[in-house]
Structures are given as structure tokens and as C-alpha cells.
Amino acid sequence: MGSKIGIDVGSSCLRFAQISLVKRESKLDRAVSFPVPFAGSHYKIAFPHDVRLERVISFPLPGSEEDNFSQPCALSLKEYLKKNNFKIQEGLAGISGKHLNMRYLQVPSNNDARIAQIVEMEMAQVLEKANTPLAYSYRPLELPLAEKKQGCVVAIAVVYESFLQNVWDFFRQAGIKITAFVPNTIALHQAFYQFSQNSPKETNYVVDIGYENTNLVVSQGDNLFLARNVNMGSKMLTLKIQEEKNWEFQEAEKFKIQKLHLSVSENNTIAKGLEESFEEIILNTAQKIPDSLEASLKFAKVQTGLSGLKVDRIYLAGGGACQKGMKDLIQNNFSCPVDFLQWKDVLGEFPKEIIDEKHQHIFCNSIGLAYLAHQKKIPLKILGYNQKIQEMLFGRHLFEYLSIAVMFLLVVFSLWTTLACYQRYEKWEEQLQEKYQKLSERSLKNKEIQKENDLLETKINHIQNRLYPNKTLLEILSWLQKSMPSQIHLSKLEWKASSKLVLSLYGFVEEETEDVYFILKKFKESIKKHDCLVIEEERDPKLQEQEKKLEFFLKLRIEKKK
């Protein structure tokens, strides 16, 4: 089947994993990695016999999203891969963070067509409120039959189309084609189920603590109960250290990695020589992670209806899980065992002199993505606009054939048109010479008439502009009073004393049974339909949640529409 590549698009680095499947059996080959923030040197790792993990690479990113997905960064990535002789043509990208939202919808039906219809209706409302293009994908969850009352629970992954476009453009500039996007939580679930040491009968809670995001998965064997993305990671510890010690960010990050220990006992301190108050502040900050894990379990019980959900074991992964004391801190908040995610028994061949075995789990997302890239059906597969066009055309090579056919037709048509025009040109030239003389005479007369008409039209327009506003102003005000919905109230109406052509409306929409945005939208549509009113300027409405009203401003110009 060849090799496939998974790309973990993280907030602080990119991780690439290349997996080759040999028939239905697998064989451990090799893996290569380049510097990651906590490691500092490249290393090799080994994976199960049914999969040959050929290569793993981490590419550090500058930090901000604008820098991460800029053209200079893409060119640097391209040069980085070329330098390390890692050729990538296409890959499956895993996403998480603030641009991704995992939603859950309880559907009173198990029929696929009915589920699709209900999800489409739900997303139509989300798209209307978002007021920006969104891409989404959904998947019914296979929950235990004993917990099902009626219907099913559907997981929906929603992501901003603009974010997908930015990522797609970034990798295109680096010479890499993104075939599709998948939430990193789904990749984490696949990597855990396929390659880790786990019991299929236990309910497992897999936690991937990243730099700015934490991916959470609750599952039992291959059955996924919950996949959630929390915008929280180890970076918050660096920021808190920087704030408390007034250090540079790099110095605080170095201190966190080398000296910080999240001790949960009274006898231990986070770092020697630090004041107790600082220790408590850091512990309170770190406590947000186990608190979010407990909150996510409660969220799972409510959203999926699994009121009796109980976790048998917690598995930790990601760079944030490597923080000293993090495992003990989480263990202190849960009664079930807490372990690091470990791959199957092939880890004995891993070169321990290069990297500790405990750190191998940071590649779980990219490994899961590379595995998913081999599958015909990918759960929660998200396609941006570019991927949808490519899948529709490139999938059956229609685009190549169509391009060749269009080019051939254009060449033939151009040759035929050129020959026909050349043959007719001589006949047309004589006729045009005769007509040209007659038209020249008529043109002179028409120009004189046109000048007179333009002068008269200017005078008439000037008179109308003087008279028209005075005549229609009272009619406009009367129309506004009648056409304005009862939920809309004007707080201020003004126009310039020198001219009554422009009206400025200040007001608000009271929240009742209908959506305030929808009421304002209908009011603006009625203004646009008016024969004499044009919306010259409008500002973004502001929602006052406490007062339950939506403030707005409209500037209207009075003119006769053509």
C-alpha cells in the first residue's frame, strides 16, 4: 500500500510521521526525529510489528499563528525537509486549538438519512450565528446499549474555513499537499487503540497535554465515547512563572523544564530556594489541568447520556505530561491508576542512550494520523474548500482530462476563427468605408444634440436635488414609524441642518421571542426595498447581554432609486 504521512499541526511545532503497511502484517523498521523543544537532539524510535514507522520529524515553529503559517516559515520548512532528505508530497493533517470545536448532538433516530438531516439543520443555525464560513464533519458514537434510551449521540467537529485555508496555503508553499483534516483527538484515539498497551475491556481516559492545547479521549476498545479539545497546556505555567518572577519568556521556559517540580506533598517544594507563596501560585495554576479533566468527564456524562460512566485508567501523553510532578498531580485528583501511554512490546529495541522511553508518546497524534491516512474511511474527516474541489475533480483524473480537452478546443477554435476572419476582412473593409463616412456625418449631429441634452439634464437634476428631499422627508419619517418592528426603539435620530439627504438612526433591539439579529436583519431588508432609501453606512451591532438588547447604528441616504 506504500507509505502515508501524518502531520500534527501543533501550536508550537509540526510533527511528521511516515508509516508503511506491508500487506496485512507489519514489521518494525526504523524511525527518525529531529530536535523538539524538550529534547534538543534527534533520535530514533521503534513501533509495533504490524506497522513500519519509517520516519518522525519535529519542526519547531516561531510561536504566533501569523508567523507559523507565513510564507517565510513555509520556505524554511521546505528547506528543512530537503536538508534532512525527507520528501513529502502529501499528508493528512491533524488540527486542534481555538479554531476547532467538538459538539455533541442527541438525535432521536438511528437512520443515517435522518441523522444527516438533523445535523444539517443544527449546523445551519450554527453557520447563521457564526457569520463566517465553517467546515464540519460528524460521526454517530457507538455507546453501550445499556445506556441508550432512544436514538444516538452524534459527535460534530466544527472548524473555521479561514484556518483550514491558511494551513492549506502554508503547506502548499512548502510543497506539501494536504489531502484532508482530522481532529487530533481522533488521531489520538486511533494511535492509542492500534498501537498502545491497553485493555479493550477497560474504560480508558487518554490525555494528550500539549503546549497550548489538551486533547482528551474517553473510549473502551475501539468505541469512542468522548473526544474533546481544551485550550489549555503547559504554556500557562511558563506565563505564570514569567509573571511572578518578572523574567524573560525564554528564561521562564528554561526554568519550567529544568527546575520546576509540581509537588503535591507538604514536604516537597517546586524548586529549592523558592518562597512558599510562589509554590502555591504555580500549583494552583497547574491544578487547572486536572480540574479540566474532571470537568470534561462531567461534560461527557451530560452530552452522551452515559450517567454511569466510570474511568478505569488514565493514560498521559504529550510534552506537557513530561513536566515533573504532572503525573502525581493528576493522580492526586483521581482514584483510578494514572500511567504514561506506552507502545507495544517493541519498545525494548529503542536506543535509550538518545532519548528516554517515557517521551515517545509525544508523537501519538502524528502516528495516529499516518495510520488513518491508510484507511478508506476516516472518521470526522474534514475537507476545506480546496480539498472538496480536488476530491471531486482529481479523484478520477477528470481535471487533467478536462484541461487537455479545453486546451485542444481552444487551439482549434482559435485557428478556425483566425482563418474565417482573414477571409471576410477584405469584404468588410469596403463596406465599412462606405458606412464610416455616413456615420461620421450622423455622429457630428448626434454630438451637438447630446450636448444640449446633457445641459438640460444637469439643470433638471439640480432642481430635483433641491426640491426632492423637502418633499419626501416627512414621508420617510412616517414610513419608518410604521415599518419599524415593535422590538426596535430609536434612541436618537439626526440629520444635518444644511441638508436633509442623510438620516442617522441610533437605537436598540429588545430581546423577546425572536432573535435580535434576525429582527435587525429584517428591518434593514425593508429599508433596502424602499424606493427612496439607501443604507450608506452601518456599524457592527453590539449585544448588551445584561440589558438583553442589541445596539445598532444606521446612516440612510435619501435618493430616488433607478
| 211 belongs to a structural domain | no
Q: Are residues 456 and 498 in the same domain?
A: no
pLDDT at 401: 72
Please report, as a single letter, which amino acid is at residue 205.
Y
pLDDT at 217 over 90: yes
Q: Are 410 and 436 found together in one domain?
A: yes
Domain membership flag for residue 385: no
Range in 80-94, 147-161, 464-478 with the lowest mean pLDDT: 464-478
Q: Is the pLDDT score of 421 beyond 90? A: no
* pLDDT at residue 468, rounded to an integer: 58
Helices vs. strands in the chain: H and E counts, helices first: 14, 18
Residue 184 pLDDT: 94
Q: Give the global pTM.
A: 0.66
* CA–CA distance, 486 with 478 (Å, rounded to integer): 15
CA 227 – CA 217 distance, rounded (Å): 5
Q: 218-262, pLDDT tens digit by residue?
A: 999 888 998 999 988 888 999 999 988 899 988 988 888 888 888
Give me the percent of the chain exceeding a pLDDT of 70: 80
- pLDDT for 395 equals 55
263 or 57, which is more confident: 263
Position 93 scores a pLDDT of 93
525 and 491 fall within a common domain? yes
pLDDT value at residue 28: 42
pLDDT at 558: 81
Beta strands in 326-396 (DSSP E): 338-340
pLDDT, averaged across the chain = 80
Q: Which residues of 483-498 are buried (b: 16+ CB within 10 A; e: fewer)?
A: ebeebbeeeeeebeee
Domain containing residue 428: 397-474
Range in 119-123, 426-430, 462-466 with the lowest mean pLDDT? 462-466
Least confident stretch, 35-39, 61-65, 511-515: 35-39
Q: What is the pLDDT of residue 37?
A: 33
* Stronger pLDDT, 498 or 38, i.e. the higher one: 498
Tell me, yes or no, whether 285 lies in a domain.
Answer: no
Both 457 and 513 in a single domain? no
Q: In terms of pLDDT, which residue wins out, 65 or 411? A: 411
Are 449 and 505 contained in the same domain?
Answer: no
Judged against a pLDDT cut of 80, whether residue 356 lies above it is answered with no
Where among 451, 474, 497 does a domain terminate?
Answer: 474
Does 159 score more than 90 pLDDT?
A: yes
Chain-centroid distance, C-alpha 180 = 12
pLDDT in tens, 275-330: 557 888 888 899 999 999 999 989 888 888 788 888 999 999 988 888 888 999 99
pLDDT of residue 269: 44
Please give the average per-residue pLDDT across 421-430, as a whole number: 83
Q: Are residues 490 and 462 in the same domain?
A: no
**Mean pLDDT across the stretch 188-210?**
88
pLDDT tier at 12 (50, 70, 90 boundaries)? confident
3-state DSSP of 513-537? CCCHHHHHHHHHHHHHHCCCEEEEE
Let me know if residue 432 belongs to a domain. yes
In a domain, 28, yes or no: no
pLDDT above 90: percentage of residues in the chain: 20
95 within some domain: no
The whole-number average pLDDT for the span 448-459 is 83
Q: Answer yes or no: do 488 and 561 share one domain.
A: yes
Q: Give 346's pLDDT tier (boundaries 50, 70, 90).
A: very low
Compute, in degrees rounded to 10, the torsion defined by CA atoms 86, 89, 94, 95: 100
The SS3 call for residue 134 is strand
Give per-residue pLDDT as tens, 464-478: 666 555 667 778 888
State whether 439 and 509 are in the same domain: no
CA distance 131 to 520: 14
Listed residues 417, 452, 474: the one ending a domain? 474
C-alpha cell at 225: 465515547
Q: Is residue 340 part of a domain?
A: no
Same domain for 506 and 434: no
* 486/264: higher pLDDT: 486
Lowest mean pLDDT among 95-99, 203-207, 304-308: 304-308
Pair (448, 516) in one structural domain: no
Given this model, what pLDDT does residue 270 score?
A: 46
Provide the number of structural domains found in the chain: 2
Is 521 in the same domain as 552?
Answer: yes
**CATH code for the domain of 512:** 3.30.70
Last residue of a domain, one of 474, 492, 516: 474
